[in-house]
Structure 1
Amino acid sequence: MTGDERTTTVGQLPTPDRDRARLPATLTRVVWLLWALSLVVLGLRWWRGEGWELAGVVAVDGLTVVLWAAVTFFGGIVHSYARRYMAGSETIDRFFGRVFAFTLVVLVLVAAESLVLFWLAWLAMGLLMADLIGHVEGWPQARAAGALARRHFLASSALLGVALATLWWETGATTVSGVAATVDGASPLVVLVAAGALVVAAMVQSALLPFHTWLLSSMTAPTPASALMHAGFVNAGGILLVRFAPVVTVEPAVMLAVVLVGAASALGGKLLKTVQTDIKGTLGCSTVGQMGFMLMQAGLGFFAAAITHLILHGFYKAYQFLSSGSRVEHTAPNGTSDGGTTGPVGGAVVVLTAIAGGALFAALTGKGTALDTGLLLAGLVVLTVMHAAREVVRQSDVPAAVRYGAVPLVALPAIAVYATVYGAIEGLLVGLPAVDEHAALTPVHALVGVAFLLTYLAVDTGVYRRSRRLYVALLNAGQPARETLLTDTEDYNEY
């Protein structure tokens, strides 16, 4: 497409009439009403300590009510934002219909007790998201991105179907709880096949390496759809592993494999992020890394930590996408660095704050106080605090005294909030099968911890930039599919 045959009209978008604006307004109110109802259900579940179920169809347990509250809140934010973002679009009703349907499908998914219903919701969720990615009609790149995502999601659904059919054939169970109750007596080989299919399906849906290309190619989606994707859709992998924890925890080798693939994506996403030059690409690589963290926590056996991570990451990433336009600065390069140096005093503040953050997390959650995989979880908290604290200390335009004092005053309360949310979610998940079976500590876990430490040091100190081969490899790995690339500015102007 060159755009030479087209007439581009520049001007104010038409104001939608009342009939055109009625459906978006109605659906937005319905989603916010669902959020209010989900809070009521969450309160009742917390007060009563038990859930509800429609035998063989749906089950409202602690995981369900937490995710209902999160999904409807994110959905309400996206619906409200999209009303202005899509104003004047001829396809606004179709867009809102798909976003609303996607929200409802996810609500069904997290409550599904029937294996068939769970699979159908998983399939519908992927197809709806693929349609949102390719939403813009007449845009070849959008159609290509939607088709690429659809192929990935169909493959994920096929893998999930294989896993569920295998479990049904072996156990005779047709429900999630039925599988949990009978999987211990199943053939180890059959369980291994089912668990492997579940893990790969989760990897595809959560855009872990090497299945991340569909996510990096999805930037043709309208910004509200991108926010919904990064704040909600990619979290499905974590939900899948938590819901089928009795299957993936039967064989320790599977749990170790989940840790390794999660760690590879966490570290790979962090490195890929450093070579991105556009905001959405940076956020996409960040999501790849964060989803790696989420699955890694599930592989360690800390399923409540995985749910906490996906919820808090959802808040953060939804905000990042919906505010991405305000972060674009039209300035010329000046050749200066982004920040100053840390210095001896700043370095001491960063290290001490990170250690204090890890100790606070361990004290509030009890994770990291014994010789088990909780040490790795607490170690990741230390590295995260260290990285965030270093970014604050390097802000040379702020007085040193303010920077050094702000680091612990901001970081430690944030860790306390995270630990509190973690504890609350852990309490709600009590009673779910296998969610409290932490993996045994092995030398492989120690190596993963060392890899995280070395990677963080390499990125924070800039040592990795000395390797041109690494730079080229990261640049190539972080590219979207060729058919989804925008190479002509007229393409941007047209759509």
Structure 2
Amino acid sequence: MSGHSSKPPVGALPDTTVESPFVPVALTWLAWSLFAVSVAVLLAKVGFGGAWEIPGLIAIDGLTVLMWVVVTFFSGIVHSYSRRYMAGSTHKTRFFVAVFGFTATVLALVAADHVALFGFLWMAMGLVMAELIGTIEGWKQAQAAKAVARKYFLASSVLLGVALTALWWTTGATTISGISAATDTLGGPAWLLAAGLLVLAAMIQSALIPFHKWLLSSMTAPTPASALMHAGFVNAGGILLVRFAPVITVDSTLMLGVVAVGAMSAGGGKLLKSVQTDIKGKLGCSTVGQMGFMIMQAGLGFFGAAITHLILHGFYKAYQFLSSGEQVEHTSPSETTEHTLGLGTNAVEFLVALLTGLGGGVVFTMLTGKGESVGSGLLLTFFVVFTTLHAARSAVHHTSLPTLARYGAVPLVFFPAIVVYAVVYEGVSDLLAVSTATTDLTLLHGAIAVSFVGIYVAIETGIHEHSQRLYVALLNATQPPSDTLLTSTEDYNEY
């Protein structure tokens, strides 16, 4: 195949505790040490509070220490996993240096207060991630994917640089904290330019539609790098909007636009996922949708919910990528292959899921107070109900338990999960220095809610599969640039 001669297998994987090079071992221990230190710093911040900063350069607030804990935890997992995954690879040491370099860059980014330092670290973060995507130098598809990602990340950095320059020009402040303190001076064309470019930079980094192609072409990255990307890197868009929340919340119309672009990706990601056949492709489209939800929560003014979402999604997606090999099934297609669940297959299943979703919404409202009045909090509660219903529906349908036990177990599992989510949300909101900026509901908010119900019903009943035109359009939208597509395994066999 492809003119390559087959080489003998490399044999059994080495014992990583004995034969690992020094650099991977040292960086793995260092990553876990940083996690331990981050936990200690978080506890100290919660216990003692106060302002920790180097004036004009860095500022360590609640968001900083929270992200330090999350990032170092994921990094420690990826480092440990990679010692086995990359065993025998000629790129092992370079891969570990890049992973740790990415970790260090993100840790510095969330602490940066000076706008020039923040912009520089934002660009460095993207360039290091592009290197991880193109880890295997001799694989032309990986290098093509690296080039695609680098173009997107550099574009995001340029947009952010212009936005930061406009904010400096408007406020005269050279720090993020200074800009936040000068919100009363924001407004006019310069503010609108800066705010719009901040949103665009966040959309690119978080792979929202129509900027999702770099993420779908990044499957050439080693699986642990993909886990770090989907659990950490794409969250940068949400962190950017939280950092500059005082800029974004100046005008309710702009926030409505943020909700709209987030909703487009949240629903679009779900549709794109429905036509994917490979595991990592499905996970990539899922990330597009989940990042849409995160951005939408920021647009609703619930920045604590956005950070909570990115943390919980990070845990879920890291696990999904690192265990993706276990999900591969070798099956043959047939005329009777069932592609969708179908709402009408079992009315009792759907009723149990519906009641579980509504009950979850009630629990969330009781614990957080969101949804008690007509406002953006009501839409946030709606999405909690919607997400719980969808997850409960899938669990009821797929769980291999006796019927009565299955119906009874789903509420018993999901209600405590909602309690945990609400508690984490309240804790994160208290830790952040950003206040909630709720807005009134509009017709657009209602249209978004209706569209989500329509997309859910279409996918569950398989309506979208009956239109060849729609199916082809969705399939084309999931295709990365052609030069990043895998052709033959010999093209990336580094042994």
TM-score by length of 2: 0.96
Percent identity over the alignment is 60
Deviation string 1:412-439 (CA, Å, 9 cap, x unpaired) is 111111111001001101x33xx32112
The answer on whether the counterparts of 1:45 and 1:51 sit within 8 Å (CA) in structure 2 is no
The answer on whether the counterparts of 2:139 and 2:492 sit within 8 Å (CA) in structure 1 is no
What is the aligned partner in structure 2 of residue 151 from structure 1?
151
Residue 397 of structure 1 and its aligned partner are, at CA, apart by 4.4
Residue 395 of structure 1 and its aligned partner are, at CA, apart by 2.7
What is the aligned partner in structure 2 of residue 270 from structure 1?
270
What is the aligned partner in structure 2 of residue 348 from structure 1?
351
What is the aligned partner in structure 2 of residue 8 from structure 1?
7
2:88 aligned with 1:85, yes or no? no
| Matches for 1:461-476 after TM superposition, within 5 Å | 461-476=461-476
Equivalent residue for 2:380, pick from 377, 380, 395 = 377
2:395 aligned with 1:392, yes or no? yes
Distance 1:439 1:135 in 2: 45
Instruction: Assess, with a 3 A threshold, how the Cα gap between structure 1 residues 19 and 406 changes in structure 2: closer, same or farther.
Output: closer
The answer on whether the counterparts of 1:393 and 1:404 sit within 8 Å (CA) in structure 2 is yes
Instruction: Assess, with a 3 A threshold, how the Cα gap between structure 1 residues 115 and 372 changes in structure 2: closer, same or farther.
Output: same
Letter in 1 for 2:263: A
Letter in 1 for 2:160: L
| Matches for 1:401-420 after TM superposition, within 5 Å | 401-420=404-423
Deviation string 1:34-56 (CA, Å, 9 cap, x unpaired) is 11111111111111233411111
Distance 2:156 2:192 in 1: 17
Residue 190 of structure 1 and its aligned partner are, at CA, apart by 0.9
Show structure 2 runs of 5+ residues with no match: none
Distance 2:274 2:448 in 1: 21
- Find the residue that maps to 1:208 and give its secondary structure: coil
What is the aligned partner in structure 2 of residue 337 from structure 1?
338
What is the aligned partner in structure 1 of residue 71 from structure 2?
71
Residue 366 of structure 1 and its aligned partner are, at CA, apart by 1.0
| Matches for 1:17-56 after TM superposition, within 5 Å | 21-56=21-56
Residue 480 of structure 1 and its aligned partner are, at CA, apart by 1.1
Instruction: Assess, with a 3 A threshold, how the Cα gap between structure 1 residues 6 and 51 changes in structure 2: closer, same or farther.
Output: farther
Instruction: Assess, with a 3 A threshold, how the Cα gap between structure 1 residues 372 and 132 changes in structure 2: closer, same or farther.
Output: same
Deviation string 1:297-337 (CA, Å, 9 cap, x unpaired) is 00000000000000000000000000001111234346443
- Find the residue that maps to 2:90 and give its secondary structure: coil
Letter in 1 for 2:200: V
Letter in 2 for 1:23: V
What is the aligned partner in structure 2 of residue 294 from structure 1?
294
TM-score by length of 1: 0.96
| Matches for 1:158-173 after TM superposition, within 5 Å | 158-173=158-173
Q: Which one is further off, 15-24 or 259-268?
A: 15-24
Show structure 1 runs of 5+ residues with no match: none
- Find the residue that maps to 2:59 and give its secondary structure: strand
Instruction: Assess, with a 3 A threshold, how the Cα gap between structure 1 residues 489 and 423 changes in structure 2: closer, same or farther.
Output: same
Superposed CA RMSD: 1.8
2:118 aligned with 1:115, yes or no? no
Distance 2:393 2:157 in 1: 42
Letter in 2 for 1:123: M
Deviation string 1:41-82 (CA, Å, 9 cap, x unpaired) is 111111123341111111111111111100000000000000
Letter in 1 for 2:401: V
Distance 2:208 2:13 in 1: 41
Distance 1:342 1:237 in 2: 39
Letter in 2 for 1:171: T
- Find the residue that maps to 1:178 and give its secondary structure: helix
Distance 2:409 2:88 in 1: 44
What is the aligned partner in structure 1 of residue 127 from structure 2?
127
| Matches for 1:242-321 after TM superposition, within 5 Å | 242-321=242-321
Distance 1:90 1:14 in 2: 14
- Find the residue that maps to 1:59 and give its secondary structure: strand
